[in-house]
Amino acid sequence: MLLLWSGIGDALREAAAALPVLPLTIAVHAGQLFLSALAWRSLLDRVVGPGTAFRVRVVREGVDSLLPVAQVGGEILAVGLLARRGVAPALAGAGTALDLLTEGATLPVVILLGLGTLWLLGGDVRALPAVLAAVALGIAGAAGFALAQRLGLLRLIEAIARRLPPAMRVDGLHQALLARARNRRALGWASLLHVAAWSGGAFEVWLAMWALGHSVGIGPAFVIESLGMAARGAGFAVPGALGVQEGGFVAAAALFGIPPDTALALSALKRVREVAVGLVGLALWRMERVGSKPLPPLGEAGR
């Protein structure tokens, strides 16, 4: 780990020089969030428009990424926002819980697709054993993430029931969840959209690597992104996967001859983008109003 962070000064200088590309990477991530919002909307029986789903999805992102709340804090808040827009609370809660499960379950699929792309491209076979070990940990971590979401489902449901005002109490949430889970067409469509959303990060890597002066093709960019996400999945228990994500990008970039300081700069750019999008989500949250009644203060969503 000390070796990993020893080049952080050079990496930060590289990342700072590449900051002009940040608006483009934010736009790419916005596209990913829009696909995720469409997946979520399909599990909500399309009772809200794409714009509403996207707006609330950005709020979810901001709360989950920047606030010290529980793992499902943003989702609990999102259910409340949907309910205040007239969506049946049971449907809002069931669709959101199922969206969490679907999103977590599709990450291993993207990791395996990255491995397949790596096999097709060849890569540096000398580093392959270490990368495969990291990928195995990543798949296990992603599976653990999905399992944690599944085990936390009842906690999410109970938290939703406690947080909503009496007029929005959740009745029939369990039945709504079962009904959503039986809709295989919606589940399949949501899964495809989540795979596309995860995969879209390859364009962010492609843009960032171009700005860093180490242009790669979209294939290598997809490999780097998927294996970086594998590392992040393996470190899902670490706040922000700090250090774990960086190690994943260093290992994946090494397959294509990219030096560690550039891989660290790539991760730094991603983290700056994460903060920027998260701040937009928090700003949207603070702008939300239900009549003249403001939303709960920051920090309460995960309590």
Task: Establish if 155 belongs to a structural domain.
Answer: yes
Task: Establish if 297 belongs to a structural domain.
Answer: no
Task: Establish if 102 belongs to a structural domain.
Answer: yes
The pLDDT score that the predictor gives to residue 229 is 84
Task: Establish if 296 belongs to a structural domain.
Answer: no
Domain that holds residue 37: 9-287
Tell me the pTM: 0.82
43 vs 75: CA distance, rounded Å: 14
The pLDDT score that the predictor gives to residue 139 is 58
Domain count, the chain: 1
Task: Establish if 281 belongs to a structural domain.
Answer: yes
298 vs 62: CA distance, rounded Å: 11
Which pLDDT tens digits describe the chain residue by residue (303 residues)?
A: 444 555 577 778 888 888 999 999 999 999 999 999 999 999 998 999 999 999 999 999 998 888 866 556 788 888 888 988 888 888 888 888 889 888 888 888 888 888 888 888 876 555 556 556 655 655 565 555 555 545 555 555 555 555 555 555 555 666 777 777 788 899 999 999 999 999 999 999 999 999 999 999 999 999 999 988 877 766 555 555 566 677 788 888 888 889 989 999 999 999 999 999 999 999 998 887 544 344 444 344 333
Q: Is 237 exposed, middle or buried (0-12, 13-18, 19+ CB in 10 A)?
A: exposed
Using alpha carbons, list the distances in angstroms from residue 299 to 63, 77, 159, 272, 276.
9, 11, 15, 22, 19
Task: Establish if 168 belongs to a structural domain.
Answer: yes
Task: Establish if 298 belongs to a structural domain.
Answer: no
207 vs 24: CA distance, rounded Å: 8
Residue type, 85: R
Pair 127, 255: CB distance under 8 Å:
yes
Task: Establish if 4 belongs to a structural domain.
Answer: no
The pLDDT score that the predictor gives to residue 159 is 57
